[in-house]
Amino acid sequence: MRYTRVSAGGRPVWGRVREEEIELLSGSPLRGDPTVIGTVPVATAQWLPVVVPPVFYAVGMNYPRHIAHAGVETPARPEVGYRANNALTGHLRPIVRPAGVEGRFEAEPELVAVIGRTLKHASPAEARDAVFGWTIGNDVSARTWQHQDRSFWRSKNSDTFKPMGPWIETDVDALAQTTTLRVNGEVRASFATGDMVFDPYDHIVELTKYVTLHPGDVLWMGAESACRLEPGDTVDIEISGIGVLSNPVQSEGNPS
């Protein structure tokens, strides 16, 4: 099943994606079994971030080739950082490069696990059962700020820097897929989605030693590689078996 959120009548509404239409739902599939209350065509849908997470977790260095390229040590255990909900945006919505950005402005293609249960001190089996489904994230980053600032606050969390979508796929072996990053239709990176140092379940087991996870929490799993973006580009991230997250890039104050 593919679940998402769209804007309908000016309000966020959960939906279930069929071939050419989205069934609008009475509530969140994370909190029960909602009923169908209407439909909108896929072609004209106004896609929202698939969920607004209670906590937005993000894994940093998690792909061996990324770690080798960065020249850092391979993490000895799963750890996480955080991203911020203000930065979320939906499929087809613009990524806006702020006025002050200089230097490399980049996309990072990431698999995202969406948590479906409340859990603490999870076993590996409980960790598997706790993932409701999978979506795609673009960890847009302004590198000069990333190196200059004391935290990743504006380098990775300026408004629109975290596209997430287009939907949550509940029926896929996410770690057996391929992630492909394209800019203006040209492939810039392609890697095995599951080639991770620690997979989502390893992270959930370690995290829940200290932290309670809740339905709707998201865990972004890191990227093997990145590529530059310029205003006017369109960036697509495809994860086979899940879908394609596509976003145009604009300059602040200069929508194009």
Task: Select the span of 13-21, 81-89, 129-137, 236-244 touching its own copies (CB under 8 A).
Answer: 81-89
Rounded to a whole number of angstroms, the minimum distance from the CB of residue 56 to its own copies is 9
Q: Which residues pair with 5 in a beta bridge?
A: 14, 48
What number of chain residues touch its own copies (CB under 8 A)? Answer: 32
How many Å apart are CA 105 and CA 86, to the nearest integer?
Answer: 19
Quickly list H helices, 121-207: 124-130, 143-148, 153-157, 200-207
Q: How far is the CB of 21 from its own copies (least distance, A)?
A: 30
Question: Does residue 49 have a cis bond before it (omega within 30 degrees)?
Answer: no
* Residue 94 is a binding residue for its own copies (CB under 8 A): no
- Residues with Cβ < 8 Å from 100, sequence gap 6 or more? none
207: which strand partners? none
Which lies closer to its own copies via its Cβ, residue 86 or residue 178? 86
Token representation of residue 170: 């509940």
The reply to whether 122 sits near its own copies by the rule CB under 8 A is no
Residue selected from 154, 162, 182, 188 as contacting its own copies according to rule CB under 8 A? 154
Say how far apart CA 115 and CA 230 lie, in whole Å.
33
Q: CB–CB of 247/163 below 8 Å?
A: yes
**Distance between CA atoms of 117 and 171, rounded to whole angstroms?**
17
**Binding map of its own copies across residues 17-46, x = CB under 8 A, - = no contact:** ------------------------------
> Is 45 or 142 the residue whose CB approaches its own copies more closely?
142
Q: Which of 23, 126, 159, 195 binds its own copies (CB under 8 A)?
A: 159
Residue 74 in contact with its own copies, rule: CB under 8 A: no
Min dist CB 155 to its own copies, Å, is 9
36-41 and 21-25: which strand pairing?
Answer: antiparallel
Q: Which of 18, 129, 153, 192 binds its own copies (CB under 8 A)?
A: 153
> Residues 18-24: contacts with CB within 8 Å, 24+ apart?
18/42
Q: Of 86, 123, 178, 184, which lies in the binding site for its own copies, with binding defined by CB under 8 A?
A: 86
How many Cβ atoms from other residues are within 10 Å of residue 191's Cβ? 17
Binding mask 235-254 for its own copies (x = CB under 8 A): --------------------
Counting contacts by CB under 8 A, is residue 2 touching its own copies?
Answer: no
Tell me the one-letter amino acid at 168: I
Length of the chain: 256
Other C-beta atoms closer than 10 Å to the C-beta of 120 total 12
Q: Which stretch binds its own copies (CB under 8 A): 42-50, 124-132, 192-200, 209-217?
A: 209-217
Nearer to its own copies, 83 or 93 (CB): 83
Interface with its own copies (CB under 8 A):
52, 54-55, 60, 75, 79-87, 98, 100, 120, 149-151, 153-154, 157-159, 207, 209-214
